[in-house]
């Protein structure tokens, strides 16, 4: 090397955010304390293929009746293989990679984000209650209000989680709090990007014998690690950032709790809402570039948010990276980055907002939040419309 180039790269490594090394985790799919030596790799992948193969088999041959095949394969989690709904090598490989990405011990994959949410609710019993953040994804809110409450006898109460002290006083200040079994949190929320203190809410939940579930879809594992902050369950719609190519519908639940994991695995098998092996392969492929896509998307989103905030045709911009965001300081402390979600309010009514939308270049108008590579999501409240810009 010439001159001080050796010093330059060493200094760059020393100055870098240590969280940026997560890219290695996404590529290799192992947490530091997880087994992943050469011997284990040869058991789960004896061919040495650098891309884990897709196993499309529905059933697996047994040496003896009732004895599952390959119980020593790490991707079978000690259970071996007998029927693909119960366990599949390609799904197991993806689940292990996602557990590492969320810095959790366990992950259970489902056929959609909604199926993952449903699996978490199945951890509850009749007459128990859910305390849910008031600004929550419409599909979650609809499921809670229209299905869980009337058919499962589980009451769902919606509250503003940004005020933790207020939540404690109002909902845990009397004997009724004993029935709360689950606190459901999104942070940032969909679509107004409210941010709540995960660590404080985890403390409150555990103090009252409650589970804290965090939907981490909007941040992705790259920009936020709820397990590290005390969350019991972390939920993702893999369809969005993790897969990242608009060609897979899937959901996951991650946890550090062995008992919850066993229950979720039983629910996964019993309900049967499992993703296909091919979808698991695609999602795993997408995970390997998550760190690159999130960095680019967040960088561009921040620039757009600053532009919108200074524009005379915009009355308000909600983006955690802006100093004007009500929970900006919390976002800086809790997240590893500000993400790529933007909500802004146009001057005028629906007609004016529609004109703005039609003038946006490189946009796709969508009903769902479907993330492509380096994508930014913008929500316009007056239109209840998403803009998805894959070239941003």
Q: Does the structure show a pLDDT above 50 at 371?
A: no
> Edge-to-edge strands of the sheet including 251-255?
106-110, 251-255, 233-237, 211-215, 180-186, 129-133, 155-159
Residue 119's pLDDT is what?
Answer: 98
Q: How many Å apart are CA 278 and CA 266, to the nearest integer?
A: 22
Residue 17's pLDDT is what?
Answer: 59
Residue 345's pLDDT is what?
Answer: 87
Of 222, 220, 192, the C-alpha closest to 371 is: 220
Phi-psi region of 82 (alpha: psi -120 to 50; beta: other; left: phi over 0): alpha
Render pLDDT for 333-350 as a digit per residue (tens, 0 to 9). Answer: 999 999 999 998 888 887
Q: How many Å apart are CA 230 and CA 226, to the nearest integer?
A: 6
The catalytic residues are: 85, 137, 215, 240
Q: How many CA atoms lie within 13 A of 103 on its CB side?
A: 17
Render pLDDT for 50-61 as a digit per residue (tens, 0 to 9). Answer: 889 999 999 999
Q: How many Å apart are CA 121 and CA 147, to the nearest integer?
A: 11
What is the rounded radius of gyration, in angstroms, for the C-alpha atoms of the chain?
Answer: 22
Q: Taking all residues of the chain, what is their mean pLDDT, rounded to a whole number? A: 86
Q: Are 287 and 293 in contact (CB under 8 A)?
A: no
pLDDT band at 353 (very low <50, low <70, confident <90, very high): confident
Render pLDDT for 227-238 as a digit per residue (tens, 0 to 9). Answer: 999 999 999 999
Say which residues have a Cβ less than 8 Å from residue 5's Cβ, sequence separation at least 6.
none
Of 314, 310, 363, the C-alpha closest to 343 is: 314
SS3 389: strand
From residue 366, how far is each of 344, 372, 389 by CA, in Å? 17, 12, 10
Reported pTM: 0.87
Residue 368's pLDDT is what?
Answer: 47
Task: Report phi then psi at 161, rounded to 5.
Answer: -80, -5
Render pLDDT for 8-25 as a digit per residue (tens, 0 to 9). Answer: 545 544 555 555 556 666
Q: How many Å apart are CA 285 and CA 290, to the nearest integer?
A: 9
């Amino acid at each position: 090397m010439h001159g001080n180039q050796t010093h330059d790269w060493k200094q760059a490594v020393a100055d870098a955010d240590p969280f940026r090394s997560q890219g290695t985790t996404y590529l290799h799919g192992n947490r530091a304390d997880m087994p992943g030596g050469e011997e284990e790799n040869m058991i789960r992948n004896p061919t040495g293929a650098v891309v884990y193969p897709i196993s499309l088999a529905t059933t697996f041959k047994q040496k003896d009746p009732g004895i599952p095949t390959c119980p020593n394969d790490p991707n079978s989690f000690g259970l071996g293989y007998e029927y693909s709904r119960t366990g599949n090598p390609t799904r197991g490989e993806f689940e292990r990679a996602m557990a590492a990405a969320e810095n959790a011990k366990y992950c259970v994959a489902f056929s959609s984000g909604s199926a993952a949410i449903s699996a978490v609710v199945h951890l509850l019993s009749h007459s128990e209650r859910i305390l849910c953040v008031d600004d929550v994804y419409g599909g979650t809110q609809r499921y809670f209000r229209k299905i869980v409450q009337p058919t499962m006898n589980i009451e769902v109460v919606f509250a503003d989680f940004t005020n933790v002290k207020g939540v404690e006083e109002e909902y845990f200040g009397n004997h009724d709090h004993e029935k709360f079994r689950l606190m459901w949190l999104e942070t940032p929320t969909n679509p107004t990007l409210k941010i709540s203190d995960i660590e404080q809410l985890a403390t409150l939940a555990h103090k009252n014998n409650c589970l804290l579930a965090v939907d981490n879809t909007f941040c992705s594992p790259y920009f936020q690690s709820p397990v590290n902050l005390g969350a019991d369950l972390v939920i993702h719609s893999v369809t969005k950032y993790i897969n990242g190519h608009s060609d897979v519908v899937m959901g996951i639940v991650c946890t550090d709790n062995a008992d919850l994991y066993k229950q979720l695995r039983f629910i996964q098998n019993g309900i049967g809402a499992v993703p296909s092996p091919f979808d698991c392969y695609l999602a795993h492929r997408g995970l390997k570039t998550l760190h690159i896509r999130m960095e680019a998307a967040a960088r561009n989103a921040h620039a757009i948010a600053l532009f919108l905030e200074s524009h005379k045709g915009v009355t308000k911009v909600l983006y955690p990276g802006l100093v004007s965001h009500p929970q900006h300081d919390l976002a800086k402390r809790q997240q590893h980055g500000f993400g790529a979600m933007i909500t802004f309010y146009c001057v005028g009514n629906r007609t004016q907002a529609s004109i703005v939308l039609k003038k946006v270049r490189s946009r796709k108008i969508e009903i769902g939040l479907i993330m492509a590579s380096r994508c930014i999501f913008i929500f316009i409240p007056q239109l209840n419309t998403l803009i998805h810009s894959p070239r941003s």
